[in-house]
Structure 1
Amino acid sequence: MAVSFMCLSGLVEETATNWTLGAFPTCKALHQEEVIKGDAKQVLFNDGSNQELCGFQSSKVVIQSFLGGGKYEALLNAWKSQIQLVDSVVHCCSSELCPGHLPCNLSSLPIKYTGKFWAATEGAFDIAVFWAEFFLLEYLNGNPQYAQGQLGVSDLVDLYRMAVENIEIMDDHFASRSFESTMASHILGTLLQAAERKPIPGLSHSQNTKVVYMAGHDTNLILLRLLLGLRWQSHGWAQNGVAPGGMLIFELDGGEQRQEGGPVVSIYFQVAQPAQLREGQPFSEPQAPSRVQVAITDCPGDPFACPLDAFKKMVISKLRPECIGIPALRDLVENHGAGSVPWPAQYWWTFLLTGQKSTAAVAF
């Protein structure tokens, strides 16, 4: 059982080893951080700091159109009720923060464009997003009181939609090709390696690997969803929510039931419901997390069981090879043939991407 990592910071080692502790409690070899290894230069996600790779394709004009332009009244009005709800709890603000506006509250704070990939603005919307996330984490962490005892769980879930929207302003369809091409090519390469049963350069796990685990940012999940044209609706969360611990799962099935048509790819989104996270509830069949199958809408075949060859062509068509930070995977995307993929008589393979705080890959 091999284990390999590609990571951005030390935080992911703890995330991944705790995941293996829960997923494989009897396999003690996977519970130690010293088994984690990888090439720190071959990161799966360009956070914008790597000047040798692609930056934002979105021009300021494009971003301004998403924000509503001008003084951003459109953005403010679109989330007015949520911002006012947050303000009813935090009771913002001191008068010096709102020159010329009284009373001074969250809605009165001027909005400015910042250009940061994790937050396009500062001011009313961005501050409301901060408090929305804070209230939700208070609840999920099991605090006896959250949001000053003034909001219900449905309010927290609704407010959390602002956090996803805040990221998507910058991490949009344009940015997804720039920043997520490396990770998408890694997923594709892993699926092809498992099907072809031969090593593919650029991957640190072998062709015999059955599961690859990656701990990543919520931005990774959002960018990958936008890149591949995916959507999901999980129980307890808003549409396309990327709640803590949410997993985007890619499964490759080449078992006997697929012998005639070749291996197929299916995608699932899995996340615990809010109360399950708050209570630290152990999962069982009667108390399973929310798991929904995600349609691969651009697949020319079955969107819920997409032929691997069709999936390969679809993914490659969406990538920018020059944005792929692992040279061997860039070569794979540029040079991989369009023919059918050979596959063995029977196998099952799973890839999991979990939204956390950094990016890592674990294979075993």
Structure 2
Amino acid sequence: MTLARTLLAFALALIPTLASASPSPEVERVVMVMRHGVRAPIDGEVPAGTLTAAPWPRWPVAAEQITPHGAQAMAVRGRADRAWLAARGVLPATGCPAPGRVRVWTNVSQRTIDSGTGFVAGFAPGCAIAIGHRAAGAVDPLFEALRAHTTDFRAAEAIASIDRFTGGMDRLVAKHAAELRLLDRVLACAQPTCSPGAPAAVRATADGRGIELDGPIRRTSGIAQVLLLEAAEGMPQPGWGRATPDVLARIGRLHAALFDVFTRAPYMAAHQAGPLGRRVLASLTAPDGPALDLLVGHDTNVTALAAALGVDLVSPGYARNDTAPAGALVMEVLRDSAGARFVRLSYRTQTPAELARLGRRVTTTPMTVPGCTRLCPVDRFAALLDARLAPAWRG
């Protein structure tokens, strides 16, 4: 054997040894920020005066509540996520987790509480895992930062940031002209526009502690969401049979455009995600913590945190930066053999069709925070997110 071949054989023999000496980092714990599951439309989500060629379908529950189908889908998702975490060695595949190993906190709205309850029913059936939340009627700053007045929010600065981010409301409407026309075709109202109303404008609320939006995006974003919820609910003919999966993804851009105003503009993201972002950072950087820390809120929470992290929400079946029912930003904390800790970010969702059929297929879309690597050192991840959050305000 020549010297070159001898050296090559030695190198190949050494590879398994080197691989075993540098194992992949192990997942230590997981933090999830999840939107609630499939619900009935919220009152006013389809604005009064919206015209359609046929009546809207009836829902089996009161406005904004999780449907029985939605509760079942949350349990299915819980089972799928339990298997996903077990495959990563975070929790055993079956049985009740040890006390304190799973922590669930939801907003005070019944749809978030019911979503957490449904998730746990599938994740750990028969186990005593508390669904934590504030008292009914309270404002939880984790999920409603502006309403809780947790930061020094200034409407004029917010509107300036929104205008810079979107190019202004007229430009935002023009950008989505094709989707507005498509939605009119789905509604089939035989009028020039099916949802008439005030022109596009964003302004401060009367108390100056928030913003309000008028115009086509405000009026149609909720309609687009209701049509998507019909599909996720498993209704036989979403959008009177005209809201195909492709159409839903396209008109979903109208719902996503709402977040360009309320949560994705940098100033809005910083203030909307402030308390929630700090709560996530506390969980990620604690020396110890639950194997799963689940926070169940709303689409605004998921979109604001994603924007603060500088990432887009991309998942099959949805428009970019629209939100899936039960869609979750997932932050895994990993530790390597030298004790270094990292965060790995992803977005876990199910398509509307998968939700409709109560399927267990969940898509995990990898994300990389700008300014870091796919496996982002915990300290670096924390510094990047913290720099994009508005400070807590005691005024």
Structure-1-length-normalised TM-score: 0.70
In structure 1, the partner of 2:153 is 55
1:88 equivalent in structure 2: 185
Q: Indicate how the Cα distance of structure 1 residues 112 and 252 shifts in structure 2: closer, same or farther if over 3 A, else same.
A: same
Give the structure 2 partner of residue 154 of structure 1.
246
From 259, 273, 276, the equivalent of 1:180 is 273
Does residue 248 of structure 1 match 2:308?
no
- CA deviations 1:139-174 (Å, max 9, x no partner) are 111111121222321001111121011122132211
Aligned residue pair count: 287
Find the partner of 2:351 among 253, 259, 273. Answer: 273
Q: What is the identity, as a one-letter code, of the residue corresponding to 1:121?
A: L
**Contact 1:119–1:166 (8 Å) recurs in 2:** no
Q: Verify the 8 A CA contact 1:46 1:53 in the aligned structure 2.
A: no
Q: What percentage of residue pairs aligned between the two structures are identical?
A: 21
Counterparts of 1:17 and 1:108, CA distance in 2: 39
**In the aligned structure 2, how far is the partner of 1:310 from the partner of 1:317?**
11
1:108-187 superposed matches below 5 A:
109-115=197-203, 120-171=212-263, 172-187=265-280
2:390 paired residue number = 320
Structure 2 equivalent of residue 291 of structure 1: 364
Query: Cα distance 1:267–1:52, how it changes in 2: closer, same or farther (>3 A)?
Result: closer
Alignment of 1:2-17 (within 5 A): 2=100, 3=103, 5=105, 7-17=107-117
Per the alignment, residue 105 of structure 1 pairs with 193
For 1:294, the aligned partner's letter is M
Q: CA deviation at 1:216?
A: 1.1
Specify whether residues 134 and 17 from structure 1 end up closer, same or farther in structure 2 by C-alpha distance, changes over 3 A only.
Answer: same
Question: Secondary structure in 2 aligned to 1:321?
Answer: coil
Q: Counterparts of 1:54 and 1:129 in 2: how far apart (Å)?
A: 28
- Relative to 1, partners in 2 of residues 1:37 and 1:147: Cα closer, same or farther, differing over 3 Å? closer
* Contact kept? 2:143, 2:276, Cα under 8 Å: yes
Unaligned runs of 5+ in 2: 1-98
- 1:305 corresponds to 2:393: no
Q: 1:123 to 1:319 in 2, by over 3 A?
A: closer
Question: Which runs of 5 or more residues in structure 1 are unaligned?
Answer: 94-102, 198-206, 326-364
The residue aligned with 1:330 is none
Q: Which residue of 1 aligns with 2:87?
A: none
TM-score normalized by structure 2? 0.65
* Alpha-carbon shift at residue 38 of structure 1 (Å): 5.3
Look up the SS of the partner of 2:347 in the other structure.
strand
Tell me the SS of whatever aligns to 2:297.
Answer: strand
Corresponding residue number in structure 2 for 1:356: none
Whole-Å Cα distance in 2 between the matches of residues 189 and 292 of structure 1?
24
| 1:56–1:174 contact (8 Å) kept in structure 2 | no
Offset at residue 304 of structure 1 (A): 1.2
Q: For each residue in 1:219-239, what CA deviation from the matched residue of structure 2 results, as whole angstroms up to 9, or x when unmatched?
A: 111111111111243223333
How far apart in 2 are the matches of 1:73 and 1:114?
Answer: 10
Offset at 1:306? 1.0
Whether the aligned pair in 2 keeps the contact of 1:84 and 1:106 (CA below 8 Å) is no
Distance in structure 2 (CA, Å) of the matches to 1:324 and 1:245: 33
Equivalent residues of 2:159, 2:202 under 8 A apart: no
Equivalent runs, 1:341-356 vs 2, <5 Å: none
Q: Pick from 230, 243, 261: which aligns with 2:311?
A: 230
How far off its partner does 1:12 sit? Answer: 2.2
